[in-house]
Structure 1
Amino acid sequence: MKKITLKGLFFGALLSSVMLFAGCSASNSTTESTQTKTDALSHKVSIPEHPKRIIGSYLEDYLVSLDVKPVAQWTVGKGSIQHYLQDDLADIPTINFDLPYEDVLKFEPDLLLIESNSMVEGGKYAEYSKIAPTYVVKNGDKVTWQEKLEDIASVLGKTKKADQVIDTYEELVTTTKEQLKDKISGKSAAVLWVTNNSAFMVAENRSSGNLLYDQLGFEVPNLTKEISKSASSDWSPVSLEKLATLDADYLILVNSDKSAAMFEDQIWQNIPAVKAGNLWEFGPETSWLYNGPIAYTQMIEDIQEKLEK
């Protein structure tokens, strides 16, 4: 029988310890590291370094601009999707805008990006957090799309890409203002959305209003100023009678109701921009109802096309 010495036992135990440590190290090296980020509601969220199954309802514009594809995309009911993003999202299944718990669970996300504080009211944040790390991005009336993009990019480790997107966009704004200054300077514009034979006007500091007035330098029509004083969302209802006072040089129409009776009304037909042939009509499949770097870029391209004719 082979003699076992104390020295042999010592080296055997040492070798086992080394192998155990090496095994633990190898196991830890395959475990994805995380980062802790504080979101818009002051939650400290442990986020995987490279999330692969992201849901960001109504944040798809930002994700696509960062070269990220979500596992599900925003919809209202079954038919209202962001058509202008479908070159990138055509194969992505939909999830309703209010993120039903069971539907979220079905997609097995490893990160939930929440577009607004209201989406997690009533205990919904705690429920979502049981499924995946849940991060509420910067939001609110005074938060620009650039700030929102930077916040999302910091979560996804895409800050350099976000900088590129912002720089490219700001260069586009500068170039557009310079090339079209003779057709923008001193000219006013308004944006209307018509749906179900009702008209809604965009507020001067929201969505496409921010683009037209703050970024490109169009004048704000008096009716837009009036409506903006009490605006609580991007779009505010405006009566046909009120539209009779609209003094805009250009009228941008997002038309979701081509057969609306209001278009046959003399009041509509006598709106100065309509009468002068300065009505720019776009369908709901375009980006004019949405926000984000891709949406704003496409709006500018639409304006360029109209003014360069």
Structure 2
Amino acid sequence: MKKILVTGANGQLGSELNVLSKSYSQFEWVFTDREELDLCNLDNLVSEISRINPQIIINCAAHTAVDRAESEFELSDILNHRAVAVMAKWSSNTDCKLIHVSTDYVFDGTAATALTESALTAPINVYGQTKLAGEKACFEENPDSIVIRTSWVYSSFGANFVKTMSRLMQERDSLNVVNDQIGSPTYAADLAQAIMTIIAHPNWQAGIYHFSNEGEISWYEFALAIQEIGGFDCTISGIPSSAYPTPAKRPQYSLLDKTKIKEIFGVVVPDYRTSLEKCMSLLKE
């Protein structure tokens, strides 16, 4: 029985993989978070992974606090880059399959059409820079790795835009939401399913893949969809990013092209609205 190690188990994607693992009982699953596997302790990381001895690693762990990353470069670099290099090297040495999750923030946001895997990377914040360094380390240490870039992740688990908006729409009469950043949300349950489709596929094909839900929307339009599905009575106004300054710059346009992951692995990509309705009905329960 193959053993799958999932890092970042308490995050949104790790939690969704935990739910999905019940349907994949042909694998032995090991879910770890900081307590069970401290990725910041680089000196012990090899011996800790060796102790678990997985045949597949799904690395969901990351320093994802985008604004905090601006002042926490060292922590971001360890979690998003250097720990990834250790995992990739270990995987290469032991013939273990590695799936590493990355981000649309590796792009500068100046594109006007959906970004393919070969589009030029040029991150504009520390989070994006350290995640790109992690991607590169992955392939330097283990060319057989798979990297999946995703965007705007939400789930019924953890803290995210959908849960924050749902709460604020019930607490406030009006909200301002940025309307000039364009992309597509990703329901973490759909990403978890995509990862398992890849693992179950007979042909492992290393490389970079893009995954988000279908649709091209702004955060403002995303908020309007949340409002409509939730039936919230709140006035929502669109504002430019310049009216809402943050420590880290955000890409203005980061819509991901999903053609490659569909064609190579037969991954099904649901529309963002369908998935949002699913997630919000779970939240209502």
TM-score when normalising by structure 1? 0.28
TM-score when normalising by structure 2? 0.29
| Structure with greater Cα Rg | 1
Q: Which has the higher contact order (CA 8 A, sep 6+)?
A: 2
